[in-house]
Amino acid sequence: MSLSDDQRAEIAEQRDARAETRRAVAPGLEARLYEVLPVLDHGFVRAIDYMGDDEAIVQAARVSYGRGTKAARNDEGLIRYLMRHWHSTPFEMCEIKLHVKLPIFIARQWIRHRTANVNEYSARYSILDKEYYIPAAENLAAQSNTNRQGRGDVLSGHEAQRVLDLLRGDAEQTYAHYEEMLSDDGKEGLSRELARMNLTLNTYTQWYWKTDLHNLFHFLRLRADAHAQYEIRVYADAICELTKAWVPMAYAAFEDYRLGAANLSGPAMAAIRQMLDGEDVTQENSGMSAGEWREVMGALGRSI
């Protein structure tokens, strides 16, 4: 990831700025504000602003007017209770605003989470930089034979190089044509809003993305999961790092009851009870589909 001198100067100025406030502040995230967390080859995540902290969650749940009315361990216990029982509104009292630079194809996947406020860099008014995502060779994989949305075996050798050459060559060519269509060297160029349609989906875009903590946790539960697409998962991992610094109690509960947990259906619970009673349970007599059976056995660490 490369930043221009102007961008580095702006980030340094933002991180050096100080303001007096009566608002609650989260020291962990204060130390990370405006910091650039590199993601992929040219992308990044930055925390720009936030509202609330762990105590804001507790205060909203108790609807109290004072801070620190209970011991810290009671606050943590309440947060864990709220997370464990899927109480969402207290977590909605906290918000965060992120600046994200990401490939367009990941942005289109990300925007499916419709519970945030988004303002994206406009290629109607500005010219996109010549930056596009080229995967590392170890992240090139064939289509999975069992999962229509997933990857299979990693490509290697000549085939991997062929794919990388195609990706790089297509991006280079379409960006060159983009510049040519915008050119005003002795002739009138095509409008920016039309010229942009020629660019490949691995071209980088940027946006400001603001969401509350409840919806952020929902995003992270899906996108920080090991089964999520790698290119969006690494962004989720970076956001996890910021969220842990922001609301450490809430994030610890999220790790325990969402990231490190599994949701089980009625048939799955019945099958587990039978197993504990020493009964022989198979997919055929469990009442579960083959797909659910694989998921449950995987969650239990059992091979099938």
At position 221, the amino acid (one-letter code) is R
pLDDT band at 147 (very low <50, low <70, confident <90, very high): low
Residue 296 half-sphere exposure toward CB, CA atoms < 13 A: 21
Same structural domain, 185 and 274? no
Residue-level pLDDT at 145: 52
Same structural domain, 9 and 87? yes
The reply to whether 189 falls in a domain is yes
DSSP assignment of 117-135: EEEEPPTTTSPPPS-B---
Give residue 257's Cα distance to chain centre. 18
Identify which has the larger pLDDT, 190 or 68: 190
> What 3-state class would DSSP assign to 196?
helix
At position 19, the amino acid (one-letter code) is A
Predicted TM-score (pTM) of this structure: 0.89
- The enclosing domain of 18 has a CATH number of 3.30.1360.170
Tally of domains in the chain: 3
Secondary structure string (H, E, C) spanning 229-280: CHHHHHHHHHHHHHHHHHCHHHHHHHHHHHHCCCCCCHHHHHHHHHHHCCCC
The reply to whether 98 falls in a domain is yes
| 204-262 residue pLDDT tens | 999 999 999 999 999 999 999 988 999 999 999 999 999 999 999 999 999 999 998 98
Catalytic residue among 192, 223, 258, 302: 223
- The rounded distance, in Å, linking the Cα atoms of 228 and 56 is 31
Let me know if 46 is a catalytic residue: no
Same structural domain, 93 and 218? yes
Domain of residue 274, residue span: 266-299
| 189-206 residue pLDDT tens | 888 899 999 999 999 999
User: Which residues, at least 6 apart from 58, have a Cβ–Cβ distance to it below 8 Å?
Assistant: 70, 75, 78, 79, 90
| 98-119 residue pLDDT tens | 999 999 999 999 999 999 999 9
pLDDT band at 6 (very low <50, low <70, confident <90, very high): confident
Residue-level pLDDT at 5: 83
pLDDT band at 65 (very low <50, low <70, confident <90, very high): low
The residue with tokens 């919806």 is 215
Same structural domain, 67 and 37? yes
